[in-house]
A and B are shown apart, each in its own frame.
Chain A
Amino acid sequence: MTEAVSFRGVSRYFGHVRAVDGVDLDICDGEFFAMLGPSGSGKTTCLRLIAGFEQPTSGEIKIYGEEASGVPPYRRNVNTVFQSYALFPHMNVRDNVAFGLRVKGVSKPERHKAAEEALALVELAGFGDRRAGELSGGQRQRVALARALVNRPRVLLLDEPLGALDLKLREQMQHELRQLQRSLGLTFVFVTHDQKEALSMADRVAVFADGRMQQVGTPEEIYSRPASRFVADFVGSSNVIPADFAGAGPAGRWASLRPEDIHLDPRGRDAVVTSRAYHGRVIKLGLSLGCHKLTALLPATASVPETGETIRVSWDAGRAHVMGPEA
């Protein structure tokens, strides 16, 4: 399969700040790809590099095999849904959506027809005459999506598009975005700082920190086999403990251990319960084993230990995932 986007040794420095530092990355055609990381991790700069708002300081970027470095945004068949939506305030919804066709010289009736179709696609048929200011946050988001999709881009970039929406709307939009991507078969590149969103929506996830790509893989790989302490910390509620303490590897390496893999065992190690919280059918315990803090998820059975109580726990050393040496 062709790579929709490929980065080879791409860096972007702002003065002395390395916003993106030596990233190698391949995004496949038709894939829903998420870039995940805290703010300042370089994920948004990567997106802006694909869109063409930024140019790499070094390295090369290809879009469907074509060299993109130095190409301005308006010559890339790539469109963006902005975090702030960036709808043009001086135009109505229809003219916003038709903007991309207008600057390409498409005739007025044709572009209006295409705009109406795109609005119908995002379930906003008939909203064409409204002003952006008259719409709710969710509606603006859909307009921004229609405005990008109407151009039939090869790659659609989404910069934290759900960040400004409330929880319920957000879950609904997550679902709709996923449906839309499948039915259109487009390549979506999605930037988010919300690991749940990334893991639940994407085909593959790249985790960023400090301008470097820490790991790329399917959500399952990222979750259960984090490549570094950072990924384990950021992505999941995994316990990160020394590998020798986990009984899974040599001293000096780290291992991740999922909370559901810890269970009560009368022959196990002593652990003091430091906190507990009900999560439906499971109960989440904060445990202290000597100087190590762990989180465990236990079935909410009748004999739930009290805070301050000492219990005995153990885990299967084979379930602990030993991570590579720290970079």
Chain B
Amino acid sequence: MNSAAIFPARSGLVARAVDWMIRHPAMFTFLMVLPISLWLGIVYIGSLIALLMQSFFSIDEFSGVIVKEFTLGTYAELLRPANFDIILRTILMAALVTLASAVIAFPIAYYAARYAKGKWKALFYIGIMLPLWSSYLVKVYAWKLVLAKEGILTWIFEKLHLSWLLDGILSLPVIGGNSLSVSYLGTFIVFIYIWLPYMIIPVQAALERVPGAMLEAASDLGATPRQSFRMVLFPLALPGIIAGSIFTFSLTLGDYIIPQIIGSGRLFIGQAVYVQQGTAGNIPLAAAFTVVPIVIMGVYLWGARKMGAFDAL
């Protein structure tokens, strides 16, 4: 009982440094966030700002040299029909992909959340997780196999004696093409496939939170199944759908690999950025193009937040 009330300080540089930090918690916090602040705050944000600044420069059309003077001319170039088409095409694609993903995801999420049990539950888990975690490029590659002119889809249509239907679809203007792998329709299908798990997971999570008693209450109060879906289930799943749409919309806006491998050859925003900064060497225009998805997603996130989608993430 006669031991000291205060133990002597431990020797050694590290022990003394730790002692000192514990006495100065603010300094400790500062040292903990210093590396990340330097990395993300200076290197990353610095790069982003440098890029955005370049969107206010322009390129000399004859020499290809970047003119470092403030101009809005590069943004004006975005409004040229050739460039503006790219923007519209990308937004339209992102919107359609989002809509279709929601429609396809809902029954899967609904079944997985409310009916699947035991083995089926396992199958649904793997069915959602496997495509989510598989390599992005492998998935794109798999679809190249599926959609190829000599591939399995053509074969299936042939065996079902529905080749006329496939040919009919492919001969449609705009969305059709020589084969599905070189058409907008192909791009659309692959986009849906790749981003579908990002829609299923939040919708399933939202549906799992709906108590079963609530649907029983609805039917008890005289709602037909259709009415209880429309008036109870759908509104409760909506935040999940909006949360999922953030992913499908944003990921489609920024992607440049899928339309490059499976598509008609007409550019999307991501490809335009890639081409402008690479082969064309027009960094200012590439930078201006990147501002478009940033602005669109900013507005989208602001709207989604208002609808309570962040609670469903």
Greatest chain A CB density within 10 A among B1, B5, B7, B22 is at B5
Greatest chain A CB density within 10 A among B3, B4, B6, B23 is at B6
Report the separation of the CA atoms of residues A248 and B189 in the bound assembly, to the nearest whole angstrom.
92
Tell me if B9 counts as interface (CB < 8 A to partner A). Answer: yes
Report the separation of the CA atoms of residues A154 and B6 in the bound assembly, to the nearest whole angstrom.
9
A contact residues vs B (CB 8 Å cutoff): 55, 63-68, 70-72, 74-78, 152, 154-155, 185
Contact (A76, B5) CB under 8 Å given A55-B23, A70-B23: yes
CB distance from A59 to the nearest CB of B (A): 16
4 tightest Cβ-Cβ pairs between the two chains A and B: A64-B5, A63-B5, A66-B6, A72-B22
CB-defined A-B contacts under 8 Å, sample of 29:
A55-B23, A63-B6, A64-B4, A64-B5, A65-B5, A66-B4, A66-B5, A66-B6, A67-B6, A68-B6, A70-B23, A71-B6, A72-B19, A72-B22, A75-B6, A75-B7, A75-B8, A75-B9, A75-B19, A76-B5, A77-B3, A77-B4, A77-B5, A77-B7, A78-B5, A152-B1, A152-B3, A154-B1, A154-B3
What is the total of A-B residue contacts with beta carbons within 8 Å?
Answer: 39
CB distance from B7 to the nearest CB of A (A): 5
* Residues on B with beta carbons closer than 8 Å to the beta carbon of A64: 4-5
Report the separation of the CA atoms of residues A196 and B22 in the bound assembly, to the nearest whole angstrom.
37
CB distance from A71 to the nearest CB of B (A): 6
* Residues on A with beta carbons closer than 8 Å to the beta carbon of B23: 55, 70, 72
Report the separation of the CA atoms of residues A175 and B144 in the bound assembly, to the nearest whole angstrom.
78
CB distance from B155 to the nearest CB of A (A): 57
Tally of chain B residues near chain A (CB < 8 A):
11
CB distance from A53 to the nearest CB of B (A): 10
Report the separation of the CA atoms of residues A55 and B23 in the bound assembly, to the nearest whole angstrom.
8
* Residues on B with beta carbons closer than 8 Å to the beta carbon of A63: 5-6
B contact residues vs A (CB 8 Å cutoff): 1, 3-9, 19, 22-23
Report the separation of the CA atoms of residues A76 and B5 in the bound assembly, to the nearest whole angstrom.
6
* Residues on B with beta carbons closer than 8 Å to the beta carbon of A76: 5-7
Report the separation of the CA atoms of residues A63 and B4 in the bound assembly, to the nearest whole angstrom.
10
CB distance from B20 to the nearest CB of A (A): 9
Report the separation of the CA atoms of residues A155 and B5 in the bound assembly, to the nearest whole angstrom.
8
CB distance from B14 to the nearest CB of A (A): 14
* Residues on A with beta carbons closer than 8 Å to the beta carbon of B1: 152, 154, 185
* Residues on A with beta carbons closer than 8 Å to the beta carbon of B22: 72
* Residues on B with beta carbons closer than 8 Å to the beta carbon of A66: 4-6
Write the chain B residue with the least CB distance to A5. B5
Report the separation of the CA atoms of residues A78 and B4 in the bound assembly, to the nearest whole angstrom.
10
Write the chain B residue with the least CB distance to A62. B5
* Residues on B with beta carbons closer than 8 Å to the beta carbon of A77: 3-7
* Residues on A with beta carbons closer than 8 Å to the beta carbon of B6: 63, 66-68, 71, 75-77
Write the chain A residue with the least CB distance to B23. A70
Write the chain A residue with the least CB distance to B6. A66
Report the separation of the CA atoms of residues A75 and B10 in the bound assembly, to the nearest whole angstrom.
9
Write the chain A residue with the least CB distance to B19. A72
Report the separation of the CA atoms of residues A55 and B5 in the bound assembly, to the nearest whole angstrom.
17
Report the separation of the CA atoms of residues A113 and B3 in the bound assembly, to the nearest whole angstrom.
20
Report the separation of the CA atoms of residues A64 and B2 in the bound assembly, to the nearest whole angstrom.
11
* Residues on A with beta carbons closer than 8 Å to the beta carbon of B7: 74-77
Given A72-B23, A152-B3, 20 more pairs with CB closer than 8 A:
A64-B5, A65-B5, A66-B4, A67-B6, A68-B6, A70-B23, A71-B6, A72-B19, A72-B22, A74-B7, A75-B6, A75-B7, A76-B5, A77-B4, A77-B5, A77-B6, A78-B5, A154-B1, A154-B3, A154-B5
CB distance from B311 to the nearest CB of A (A): 28
CB distance from B238 to the nearest CB of A (A): 38
